[in-house]
Copies of this chain bind each other. A is one copy, B any other.
Amino acid sequence: MQRKKVVIDTKIEAAKTKKGLLLVHTGIGKGKSTAAFGLLARALGHGMKAAVIQFIKSRSDSGEERFFRNAANLNWHVMGDGFTWETQNPEQDLASARKAWEMACTYLRDETVNLIILDEFTYALKYGWLTIDEVSTALNNRPPMQHVVITGRAAPPALIELADTVSEANLVKHAFQAGVQAMPGIEW
């Protein structure tokens, strides 16, 4: 038997608090953004209202964006310019990140929004486009039952400290290591 799981399940059953959670999916393994999009499907299935803000991604032809585009109760914002080493334009990166963050903040003040996904958000902290102080303040002041999911590599310790649930995706192996190319439905 899997005793550890039984103990965890008993703890879950004993838990009584209800609150809006801050969830962080970090690490270099696969499954951070997809975990957020799976949660999005889960929340929408319960009739919750949600918003997605993509901080880095600039393409609107992703499978997830196409699939969720017409979902009820959802606003999806592709706000990025691609990664900074692609754009080679730090001013543009900063401006895009600040614009995305302003958009995020409007949702973080709206108690009718049950779930906010800040996709690839950690890079905005990593590159100093946003400070952890302004981010912490906005997250702490959000509506008490609002859930927020943040994805991206190298979540800073202050963000992990602030979070309720943190999952780190460890890269055990990846198909690209065997020369397999990125494919639709898998990587985008």
Contacts and interface: CB of A to CB of B under 8 A. Distances in A.
Interface residues of A, number: 83
A23 interface: yes
Tally of this chain's copies: 2
Q: Which of A34, A147, A183, A188 has the most CB of B within 10 A?
A: A34
Nearest to A30: B167
B17 A178 contact: yes
Given A34-B42, A42-B64, A67-B41, A169 B172 contact: no
Interface of A: 1-2, 4-6, 8, 11-12, 14-19, 21, 23-46, 48, 62-68, 83-85, 114-115, 126, 147, 153-154, 160, 163-188
Nearest to A28: B4
A104 B58 CA distance: 36
A28 to B, nearest CB: 7
Given A17-B178, A35-B35, A39-B186, A163 B173 contact: yes
B39 A67 contact: no
A36 B38 contact: yes
A175 B12 CA distance: 9
B181 A1 contact: no
B170 A170 contact: yes
A8 B177 CA distance: 9
A35 B11 CA distance: 24
Nearest to A69: B45
A36 B30 CA distance: 11
Nearest to A178: B164
A31 B65 CA distance: 20
